[in-house]
Structure 1
Amino acid sequence: MDGKLIFSVIIAIYIIFAIFRMVYYYFQDQDSALLREKSFFNKFGYVPYPKGLMGGAGFFTHEFRDTWFIFVLFLCKFNFAKKRVKKEELDFIASWPESYTFYLKKKTKAGFFDFMIIIILYAALEII
């Protein structure tokens, strides 16, 4: 078999695997997402994302809403993130139990590594 064909098949299989894993983490994170949103709203009286995403159901709406929490959880170590987010919001989110953020962190890391692996495989395909 040709090397390019083998790499193309590997990339296709890995992309399918990554999609299934993303959907699995999405369903695992549903309850935690509701807890995150309710606790944040109860504490501050507003939601941190655009109002157009409120009440929207579905896979992509859920992921867009989580983008804000991912931003805070992973980028608050850097000074530029602290300027955009209020200190009391940072402290509140940092105080959440692991059950609120476990799958959020897991799907974010998995998505990042899936993206990097697909890029590396595609680069290898171009080199061959």
Structure 2
Amino acid sequence: MSILLNRETRVLVQGITGRAGRVQTKLMLEYGTNVVAGVTPGKGGEQVEGIPVYDTVDEAIAKHGAEASVFLVPPAAVKDAALQTIQAGVRLIVIVTEHIPVHDVMEIREYARDREVRLIGPTTPGVITPGEAKIGIMPGNM
């Protein structure tokens, strides 16, 4: 049994249509991660690696549910996206993005802590359960 995620954990990728989002989604899928949806505002209806893309977190959660979300979005977009994701009930948030304003991070951390949401990051390579699933940008093998 894994601590934070396993192959059944439903994962939402925020920023899935960007260059990093596309590459990392493909690598997560190849590793065995259960990526169920992606979110990029204005890109709803598209697909990345066969994964449906939605305009909002609420749409993605309503259709697919998710226990975890990874953020591959610009620094200025992280705060609003994180607060929406926490409010939607996602229990594990992995923020890969770096250079997020410190006050935004403080607000996200407090909001997550008050709702008992596990926050990994920002500026993290992610989380991996060997042989099961990975969320983030770390390699699945070396």
* Common fold: TM-score over 0.5: no
- Structure with higher Rg: it is 1
Which protein is richer in helix relative to its size? 1
Does 1 or 2 have the higher relative contact order (CA < 8 Å, sep 6+)?
1
**TM-score, reference length from structure 2:** 0.28
